[in-house]
Structure 1
Amino acid sequence: MSELFTASSYHSILCSDFPPFLHDYLQLPLLTRLKGVGLLCGTDWTELFHNQFFYSRFDHSLGVALIVWNFTHDKKQTLAGLLHDVSTRAFSHVTDFRNGDALTQESSEDINASLIDNDKELSLLLKRDGLTPNDVDDYHRYPVADNPCPGLSADRLEYMYPSGAALCGQWTIDEVRKNYSHVCLLVNEQGQPELGFDDEEAALDYTKRFTNIALLLQHNEDKIAMQLLADVVSRAIKCSFICEDDLFSLTEQELIERFDSFASQKKDIVFTRLHKTFRTMKEVKHTQRALDGHYCVSLAVKKRYVIPLVKQKDGSALRISDCNGEAKKIISDFLSYSDSPYGCVCIAQ
């Protein structure tokens, strides 16, 4: 019987020697708040999706830190990875959809550095470790933690394993263990360190599975779930059911419970219908135009993909698309994919 996919079992694969200095950082309210924020952007709360388990932004942040530590043993880079999502509100990238930023999904990062720079408890821990907030307030500085698409970074590597496992059982713990054992540190075309694979088959396997999950995020089902929840949240704020700060202070479960209560009281019929539609929808119609009596979206969203490096016999590294024809086609097909112009669901009454 396959081992259950849990955050602890997964994290033990990412780094076998857990760095003791992280323990105190993991108690910071700045980070513990993220335990109530899901990685999968609100899809845990609709019947349209059947997520197999809840994986939090806290779990993701720790996972990124463990990968960075595993390959660098550098405190600055590790802590920058740990703190890279502290500005994430409830429902994660739904905030970007509220801000009209479905294409880049970066608008929620705007205050990340400010939160890090102004957290007094964090500053004390950093001082103890001989670091400053400036050392850790931007993980984009550290290419192992983050790098431009389509490079493979700790952030991208980490989130696609549990995303695939939760969304559709794409990865088991045993499969992650086998695949991750082939991850290594290489040098990319710009002379920068970048995560890659020491085995072409492992790189191809990761590319296939990453792309399968990335395709799900291009489907109208994902687009409609995120935009509809964005509209639910915006309407709740407009009706004063919640305020913007509640997206920082309340967990997703607490917010959903409030929304359920407000909807049942029918204090605002627009909110009630939007929220009920989000909670109960089971099927999306793929259409060429918007349908009457339906909630419809027509969106271009961020394409998440990687073209990982593969270590060659001479020690150099090539993108898998440059050394494997199957991978090249998989990536090309993904980049050219588009769902139907509209996704529509019947509005609940």
Structure 2
Amino acid sequence: MKLTDWLYGSFNVEPVLEDLILSDAVQRLKGVYQGGASVWVNEKWNVTRYGHSIGVMLLIRKMGGSLKEQIAGLLHDVSHTAFSHVVDAALENQEENYHEAIFSDYIKKTSIPAILRKYQFDPHDVLGDDSRWSILERPAPELCADRVDYTLRDMTVYSIISLEEAHSFLESLIIHEGKMTLKNVESAEWFVRTYYQEVIGFFMNPLNVYGNTLLAEILKKALGKQILSRSDLLGTDEEVMGILKQSSDSEIKALLGRLRRDVRIVTGNKGGGFHQKMKLRLIDPPVLVNGKAVPASSLSSNVKEIKQKTREKAIEGVSVNVTSAG
């Protein structure tokens, strides 16, 4: 099977990856959007979990990761619910890890274990603990394939950075002692700025805050009224939205009517609006200096400054108010 990704290029992948990609569980991710409610308030915010999962797998491959780690990368988000992390907000899960908590149970109900065994892979040896894969996942503020892919993918699709810039950054990535490392501090500074635009400019975009907060309220009420079950959340965004729209509940209908692409909002807390604080997400890429990886913040005052601004903004949060619709 030949896969072509606009970010990483073309690759011929092994039969086990092909079968996993074509499985219902992975194909479902084509209907699960990365940004939660983002696509429901801005049609251009349309990156999917499927595109990200393929990207993480290919980035691991590009960086020389093993086939097992590529499989883990492909499947790392397979248990994400519809609307991604909005469900965490609806369930008041501050760790934003509901998809990880249900991962093992979800996998057992899919064809994934049978596919892995078909190719002599032990599912327990490949899945369930991403921390064993040093390219796929690293604790913040380090680099990892997951963090790098969603940042480059989102920021390119949303026209914050150019494809040429993304490709230039990828050329600066190397693996040192099993971990993603950068060749120079300039690339580190560029990625820290770009990551800041992702977590502050996009995640905390007032329109995103509005959509995600409103949708979380809708889901919470729908679950409480048994209009939705938790098993329903393992469908696609459209499937779950279809259940909500078919409901005769007047409160749900009224809230859904406010989730639209023509709202106009302003920042500031004037009462009756939405306020959101962000999960703290910091990045401090390692840079190779004289054969040793050192944090970029030890080399660059710009990185230090951006990290501090990100911390302050996450604590402050953002407040939004709707001014009009239509």
Q: Normalising to structure 2: TM-score of the pair?
A: 0.88
Match of 1:54 in 2: 46
Counterpart of 2:204, as a letter, is: Q
Alignment of 1:210 onto 2:191: no
Counterpart of 2:23, as a letter, is: L
Greater CA deviation, 236-245 or 319-328? 236-245
Q: 1:163 to 1:113 in 2, by over 3 A?
A: same
Q: C-alpha separation between the residues in 1 aligned to 2:206 and 2:46?
A: 22
Q: 1:51 to 1:18 in 2, by over 3 A?
A: farther
Match of 2:213 in 1: 227
Shift of 1:31: 1.1
Which of the pair is proportionally richer in strand?
2
Shift of 1:180: 0.9
Other structure's SS at 2:136 match: coil
Alignment of 1:177 onto 2:180: no
Give the share of equivalent positions with the same residue, in percent.
22
Match of 1:17 in 2: 11
- The question of whether the paired residues in 2 share the 8 Å contact of 1:309 and 1:317 is answered with yes
Shift of 1:241: 4.4
Match of 1:252 in 2: 237
1:33 pairs with one of 9, 28, 34: 28
Match of 1:274 in 2: 255
- The question of whether the paired residues in 2 share the 8 Å contact of 1:66 and 1:78 is answered with yes
CA displacement, residues 126-177 of structure 1 (integer Å, 9 cap, x when unaligned): 22333211112222221211111111111001111122133x4112222211
Match of 2:123 in 1: 133
- Structure 1: runs of 5 or more not aligned: 1-6, 188-192
Match of 1:304 in 2: 281
| CA RMSD, Structure 1 to Structure 2 (Å) | 2.6
Shift of 1:44: 0.2
Q: C-alpha separation between the residues in 2 aligned to 1:124 and 1:164?
A: 36
- Structure 2: runs of 5 or more not aligned: none
Shift of 1:38: 0.6
2:75 pairs with one of 63, 83, 99: 83
CA displacement, residues 258-306 of structure 1 (integer Å, 9 cap, x when unaligned): 54565xxxx33322221122225633343346x2xx3x33332212231
Q: Normalising to structure 1: TM-score of the pair?
A: 0.82
Q: C-alpha separation between the residues in 2 aligned to 1:9 and 1:86?
A: 19
Match of 1:3 in 2: none
Counterpart of 1:12, as a letter, is: Y
- The question of whether the paired residues in 2 share the 8 Å contact of 1:307 and 1:321 is answered with yes
2:91 pairs with one of 91, 95, 99: 99
2:180 pairs with one of 192, 195, 210: 195
CA displacement, residues 241-267 of structure 1 (integer Å, 9 cap, x when unaligned): 443322213x223443554565xxxx3
